[in-house]
Structures are given as structure tokens and as C-alpha cells.
């Protein structure tokens, strides 16, 4: 619907008024922030000047403590005020450039007049006139903007449902305080706004664009009921963006009881963490905790094993087809990812309650003081109905008592006297001070010397036993690698194909203190079930991005790890590129974690990242691709070019990079299949054009031309993508279809595919 010139002028006048108000507040807040900062510096500088310090008697000590506490509270109050004012200032600076992006006129059924509601990234209240100049996009009433066309509408509030009539829905593009575009719209967020946003170049950081949230995304963002929220979304459907806006919404909606450190996001890799790191700060919220599942595994198991990461496993699956044992390794990866294998582990653990636990000898000064057999006998002497962790705690307590007795016996041993002679002066002084404190010294008597010797002997023995006690408290007397190894030395009913070879491969790695990625979660699960689960009850929301990369076993483990958390999982099974996901078509295993009444699923079929020609090209590569809806954004059709050989390939790619750069594209990706292929491409190109090679160790995402393996590009977007070699030799197996699709769907504006020899069958389907 068109907007008259007078309406445009009226709207600009309102923008001017709001920007002026924001400017006034910024000046005031800058003064407040500056003054508070000076107060903090002054208090810290003169902290002890204003504290009465005296330790003469009890009353003086109490007064000193009270004085210190009072001064600390003053400092803490100033710091809180400074933090609050600084956060407010940051929000206002963002609002000053673009104070709002939408307006709705809503008439409540119980009211005679309608309210004009302007939406932005933060609330702005004119307290003098008790008027909301801008409503936060997360406020309950703001949902009307995303969910309804003009007409009957309603929204939910903590106090109940508010029904009425949505009379107007207007969108703005405001830049530097000036309205660049203004239009009224219907049911969805207008194409004009999306066109403007999506037509921009890709950035090295994901942007938060709350103005473009679609109705189906909004429903997912504002869902507070489901214990498990499952989002299956096509490539470029805005899954990750909506997930981060959901975090911002939850922090706003439950701001009295929820903080950012109670939310954790599991992302696909460290580089992706860098890519999404600015979204929440853009919305005025602190970043939640971000990690990767492999980082968690490394944290828990890295000191015990040389732990394989999933990208190394991926490289193996893509490059080692001709190596002996390949089929067995692939079968093992797939089997160990299942809940069926978890059930095998559970039965094994149940048997360990009766027999089969393995322990290590406990040694002191090279001598076995408690043998593995003694520990096993003592463990199985405890009541068999008790859970394994409870009995393990009883064993540790028993051992600590035994060590106390043993330490007492060691006090008079000859080795103790020898070590006393080697002590330094500080150790002697420590013993002397300790005895003086206990008032056990008299006047240079023989008893004084004897007590000093006893004290020194006690110190020596306690120091030597300290490490043993620490190991006992950490249950390091358990032979966990041996216990896991033992599982693969026993026959298995209904064993999968290649089981004998799977067992041999697993045992071989364990004997070298290595742990394959497919064994890491099962091993940690077994460890937790024996020692006691290290659950995290402080986390209230867990977000899992690229959920198709996780196995059913891993999801079951995450549920146990965060027992009080709600879970939001987002993914696209058309991009399920890991071996364990072969043949998977949906989130059935994830959905089974919680009862149906606690689970809600969303399907996002519309793709916004790529132009219509690119989406229409890529969706033909996958089964069911016709369900993916392209956003109506025109662009150049993808190109497919046959080249003679690798030398010709590199020449064509260099020419293409130059032309893309000349066209103004800042983020260009040459996407290869593997890390090995990426190194070859990078070496060939770097002599002529500077390119950045992205590897699994790359910590941040930056603008420029990059060479990157397809599995690392997942979740990221680029202005233009050059697919390095789409030949049948490289992408010929059915198991590589999803990897090929994932690589091609990274492109926003241009996609160019090259190949040598015969064309990939997936490419043939796309043409």
C-alpha cells in the first residue's frame, strides 16, 4: 500500500523527535558514566584511607571488618551503577541510528481508540509524558507485528489474552536518523525490506535482523512451553538467526530469573562461535556460553587419551576408502552412535555391579600397599543393591581411612629420618611456628627437640601421601580404559556386521591411549555411570545448532548432562554429512527424548540466503527438495564449467575470483571436499592471489577470499561460492550427496561449479 507524502513527512518528524530525545539521553548518560567511572577510580585509589584498621582487641577487629565491608559495598554499588548506565548508553547509541523498524496500530476490544506501537531493538520510554516512544521487539504486544495482517488479532500476556483489531502494519528502513524506505504491508514481513537486507554482502559476523523475522520463526522464538523444541529448516531458512533471537527473547521474557550464563549453545566449531558472537550484544544482551561438543569431550577426556576430533573422523571417511579396515571402521562409527549400543553398555554396566570391575594397584614408594585384587574384593563386599557410584564412594572412603593408618605406621621409618635431613630451612621454620602456635615449646628442653622431630616427620609423611589421597578422591584407582576395553573382548548377542574387526580396531586404539571420536561419548557415559554423573543443574536452556551432526547416543547423553534444562535443537538432515547420520531422514531419535506433550516441532521450508536461481538449482540435488521454497530474489544463474585438468582448473578459478572481486564481492569461498584438497587448492592459488586457508584450528571468521573444506563451511554464508571440483571422482558416492549440497548452499549471490573428467551425478540432477 502506498504512503502519502504528508504521511512520510509526519513519520520523519516523529523520527526526528525520537532521535532528539535519544541524543539528550545519550549526553546525560555519558556524564553519568564519566562521573561514576571517576568515583570508582577514586574509591579504589583511596580505599584504605577511609577504612579504620585496628586489631588490638575483638571490638577493634569487628569495627575494622565492618568498615571494610561498608567501603566495599560503596564500591560495588558504584560499579553496578556504571555497568547499568554503560549498557543503557550502548542501547541508545544503537537506537540513535535506527530507532525503530516497524509500527502497528492496534485497537483493543475494550478500548475506543487505537494505540500506535513502534517497534525497535530496545524499549524507549518518555517518563515525563508516560509514553512509550519505542517498544522492545520482544514485548508481548510486538508479536502482532510478526504474526498478523491487518484485521482481527490477539496476543498473549502474563495476565491473559488481549484481542482486538490490527488496523495498520507499517515498515521502515531508517538509517542515520533518516527514513530511507516506508511502506505498509500484509501478512508477512514485506519483501521490500527482505530484499534490502538480503541483497547486502555477506559479513564476517552474523547480523541480528529482528525486522525480518517471519511468522513461523516468531512462533519458534517465543515458545516458552515446550521442554524440547525441534527445528528442521532448509539451508538458509534462518534457523541459527532465529535461535539467537530466541535466546534474546528468553533473556527479556524471564529477565528476573534467567541470566546469560544459564544458557549454553553447542555450535559446530570454534570458527562458527566467532561468526555468531556479535548477535546478542547487538540486541543489548550478554552472550550466552558457547562451546562445541568436542571441546566438552576434550575437557573431560583429553588428559587421559589422545582424542580424535570429528573433523579428523570426517577426513578419514572421505579419503581412506582404499585402506584396510575401512568398512569395519565405518560400521563401528554408525553402530556406536545408536541408542542400541547405549543399551549394550547399560547391560554391561549392570553386570559390572556383580563382577568384572577392574582396579589398579595403589603404590607407595614403589611398593604395592593395596592391590587391585584387594580393591575389587572390598568393592564387591559392599551391598550389591547400591548403585555403582555409591559403592565407589564407599570404597574411596575406606581407602582414605586405610591410608591414614598406613601414614601413621610410616612416621618412624628410616626413610622419613633421611628426608628430614634433606629439608630446607623454610620447612624447619614452618614446624617451629606450628609448635609455637600450639604452645608446645618450653625452654630448649629435650622434649622440644623431640616434638620438632615428630612434627617434621608428620609433615614429610603427609606430603608424600597427599598425591595418593588426591588420586583416591578422584577415583583414579579405577582402570576405566581396561573396563571399556573388556567390553570388546566379550561376545555380543545380535552383533552388527564386522563386529570382530570393530572390536580389534577399538582395542588397538585403547592400547595406544587413543580414543576414536565414535568411542568418546560411550566411554564418557560409562565413566559417568560408574563414578557418578557430573550433571549441570544451573543451565536452564541448551541450544544445539547443526543438530544433524549429533548421534542419538550424544543427545541422550546431553539430556542426562543438563537434567533441568529445556532443549532447542536446530538442523537440516539434508546437510547430515557425518558417517553416523547415513540414512537418517529426521529427528526421530531426538524427539523420543521427551514425551510428545513436552515436544514441539517446527519446519522451516523457505530459504532466504540464496537467490532464487541458486535455490532452484541446489534443491534438485536432494530427495524432497521440491518442498524448499525460494525467496523471490533474482540473481545470476549458477554456472557449471568443465575444465581439462587441474592446471586448467586453477587458471579458471583465478579468473573467476578476479571477476567476482571486480563485481564488489568481499566474501568469496573456494569450497573443497576435504582438508587435503583445500591445501592443494590454496597452494595453487596463493602464488597469484592471496587466499586464506581455513582449517579446523582456525579460530575466527574474517572477510576476504578463503579456501575451505565443505564440512567447515557448514552454517556460514558467502557472497559467492566457487565449488572446486564437482567431478564424479570427487563427489560420486551416494554418501557424498549431502556434502555436495551443503557446499553449494553456502552461496548468497553467485555459485560457480567446476569439474574435471566426468560430472558428478548430483550435478547432473541439478541441471
The annotation places the binding site for ATP at: 233-240
Cell numbers found for residue 45: 585509589
- Around 544, how many Cα atoms within 13 Å sit in the side-chain half-sphere? 28
- Helices 339-352 and 552-561, axial angle in degrees (round to 10): 60
Distance CA 4, CA 100 (A): 20
Cβ partners under 8 Å of residue 437, min gap 6: none
Specify whether the CB–CB gap between 98 and 174 falls below 8 A. Answer: yes
- Where is the binding site, in residues? 233-240
Taking Cα atoms as reference points, which of 584, 572, 570, 585 lies closest to residue 618?
Answer: 572
Distance CA 88, CA 86 (A): 5
Distance CA 521, CA 313 (A): 14
Cβ burial of 446 (10 Å; 0-12, 13-18, 19+) is exposed
Task: Give φ, ψ of 639 to 5 degrees.
Answer: -115, 145
Cell numbers found for residue 43: 574509591
Radius of gyration of the chain (CA): 33
Specify whether the CB–CB gap between 303 and 581 falls below 8 A. Answer: no
Specify whether the CB–CB gap between 231 and 602 falls below 8 A. Answer: yes
Other Cβ atoms closer than 10 A to 568: 25
Cβ burial of 309 (10 Å; 0-12, 13-18, 19+) is middle
Q: Is the dihedral of CA 513, 519, 521, 526 positive or negative?
A: negative
Distance CA 617, CA 631 (A): 13
Distance CA 289, CA 231 (A): 21
Amino acid at each position: 500500500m502506498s504512503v502519502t507524502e504528508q504521511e512520510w513527512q509526519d513519520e520523519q518528524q516523529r523520527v526526528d523527535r525520537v532521535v532528539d530525545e535519544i541524543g539528550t539521553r545519550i549526553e546525560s548518560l555519558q556524564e553519568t558514566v564519566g562521573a561514576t567511572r571517576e568515583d570508582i577510580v577514586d574509591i579504589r585509589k583511596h580505599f584504605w584511607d577511609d577504612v579504620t584498621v585496628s586489631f588490638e582487641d575483638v571490638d577493634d577487629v569487628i569495627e575494622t571488618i565492618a568498615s571494610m565491608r561498608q567501603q566495599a559495598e560503596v564500591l560495588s554499588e558504584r560499579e553496578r551503577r556504571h555497568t547499568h548506565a554503560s549498557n543503557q548508553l550502548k542501547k541508545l547509541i544503537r537506537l540513535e541510528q535506527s530507532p525503530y523498524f516497524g509500527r502497528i496500530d492496534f485497537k483493543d476490544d475494550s478500548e475506543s481508540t487505537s494505540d500506535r506501537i513502534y517497534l525497535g531493538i530496545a524499549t524507549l520510554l518518555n517518563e515525563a509524558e508516560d509514553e512509550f516512544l519505542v517498544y522492545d521487539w520482544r514485548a508481548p504486544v510486538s508479536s502482532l507485528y510478526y504474526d498478523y495482517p491487518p484485521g482481527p488479532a490477539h496476543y498473549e500476556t502474563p495476565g491473559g489474552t488481549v484481542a482486538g483489531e490490527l488496523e495498520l502494519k507499517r515498515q521502515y528502513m531508517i538509517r542515520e536518523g533518516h527514513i530511507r524506505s516506508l511502506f505498509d504491508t500484509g501478512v508477512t514481513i514485506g519483501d521490500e525490506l527482505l530484499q534490502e537486507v538480503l541483497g547486502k554482502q555477506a559479513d564476517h559476523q552474523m547480523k541480528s535482523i529482528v525486522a525480518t523475522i517471519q511468522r513461523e520463526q516468531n512462533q519458534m522464538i517465543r515458545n516458552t512451553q515446550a521442554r524440547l523444541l525441534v527445528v528442521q529448516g532448509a539451508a538458509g531458512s534462518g534457523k541459527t538467526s532465529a535461535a539467537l533471537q530466541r535466546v534474546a527473547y528468553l533473556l527479556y521474557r524471564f529477565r528476573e530469573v534467567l541470566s546469560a550464563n544459564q544458557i549454553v549453545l553447542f555450535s559446530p566449531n570454534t570458527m562458527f562461535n566467532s561468526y555468531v558472537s556479535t548477535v546478542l550484544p547487538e540486541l543489548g544482551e550478554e552472550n550466552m556460553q558457547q562451546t562445541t561438543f568436542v571441546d566438552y569431550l576434550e575437557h573431560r577426556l583429553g588428559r587421559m587419551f589422545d582424542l580424535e576430533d570429528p573433523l579428523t573422523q570426517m577426513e578419514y571417511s572421505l579419503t581412506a576408502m582404499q585402506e584396510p579396515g575401512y568398512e569395519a571402521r565405518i560400521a563401528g562409527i554408525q553402530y556406536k552412535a545408536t541408542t542400541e549400543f547405549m543399551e549394550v553398555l547399560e547391560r554391561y554396566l549392570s553386570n559390572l555391579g556383580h563382577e568384572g570391575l577392574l582396579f589398579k594397584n595403589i603404590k607407595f614408594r614403589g611398593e604395592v600397599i593395596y592391590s587391585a585384587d584387594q580393591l575389587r574384593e572390598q568393592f564387591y563386599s559392599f551391598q550389591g543393591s547400591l548403585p555403582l557410584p555409591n559403592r565407589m564412594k564407599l570404597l574411596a572412603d575406606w581407602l582414605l581411612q586405610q591410608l591414614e593408618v598406613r601414614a601413621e605406621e610410616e612416621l618412624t621409618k628410616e626413610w622419613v629420618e633421611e628426608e628430614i635431613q634433606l629439608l630446607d630451612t623454610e620447612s624447619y621454620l614452618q614446624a617451629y611456628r606450628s609448635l609455637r602456635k600450639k604452645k608446645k615449646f618450653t625452654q630448649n628442653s629435650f622434649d622440644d627437640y623431640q616434638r620438632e622431630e615428630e612434627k617434621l616427620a608428620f609433615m614429610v609423611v603427609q606430603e608424600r601421601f597427599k598425591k595418593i589421597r588426591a588420586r583416591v578422591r578422584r577415583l583414579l584407582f579405577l582402570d576405566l580404559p581396561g573396563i571399556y576395553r573388556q567390553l570388546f573382548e566379550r561376545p555380543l548377542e545380535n552383533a552388527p556386521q564386522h563386529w570382530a574387526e570393530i572390536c580389534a580396531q577399538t582395542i588397538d586404539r585403547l592400547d595406544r591411549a587413543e580414543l576414536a571420536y565414535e568411542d568418546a561419548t560411550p566411554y564418557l557415559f560409562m565413566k559417568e555411570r560408574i563414578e557418578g554423573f557430573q550433571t549441570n543443574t544451573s543451565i536452564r536452556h541448551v541450544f544445539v545448532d547443526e543438530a544433524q551432526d549429533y548421534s542419538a547416543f550424544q543427545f541422550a547423553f546431553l539430556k542426562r548432562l543438563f537434567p533441568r534444562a529445556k532443549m532447542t535443537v536446530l538442523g537440516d538432515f539434508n546437510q547430515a554429512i557425518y558417517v553416523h547420520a547415513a540414512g537418517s531422514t529426521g529427528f526421530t531419535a531426538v524427539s523420543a527424548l521427551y514425551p510428545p506433550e513436552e515436544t514441539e516441532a517446527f519446519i522451516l521450508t523457505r530459504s532466504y540466503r540464496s537467490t532464487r536461481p541458486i535455490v532452484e538449482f541446489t534443491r534438485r540435488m536432494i530427495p524432497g527438495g521440491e518442498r524448499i521454497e525460494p525467496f523471490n530474489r533474482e540473481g545470476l544463474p549458477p554456472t557449471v564449467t568443465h575444465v581439462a585438468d587441474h592446471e586448467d582448473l586453477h587458471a579458471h578459478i583465478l579468473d573467476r575470483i578476479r571477476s567476482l572481486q571486480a563485481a564488489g564481492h568481499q566474501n568469496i569461498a573456494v569450497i573443497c571436499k576435504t582438508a587435503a584438497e583445500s591445501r592443494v587448492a590454496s597452494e595453487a592459488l596463493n602464488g597469484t592471489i592471496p587466499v586464506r586457508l581455513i582449517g579446523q584450528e582456525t579460530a575466527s571468521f574474517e572477510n576476504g577470499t578463503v579456501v575451505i573444506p565443505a564440512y567447515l563451511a557448514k552454517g556460514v554464508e558467502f557472497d559467492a561460492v566457487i565449488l572446486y571440483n564437482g567431478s564424479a571422482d570427487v563427489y560420486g558416492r551416494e554418501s557424498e550427496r549431502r556434502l555436495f549440497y551443503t557446499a553449494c548452499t553456502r552461496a548468497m549471490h553467485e555459485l560457480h561449479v567446476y569439474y574435471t573428467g566426468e560430472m558428478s551425478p548430483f550435478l547432473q540432477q541439478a541441471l
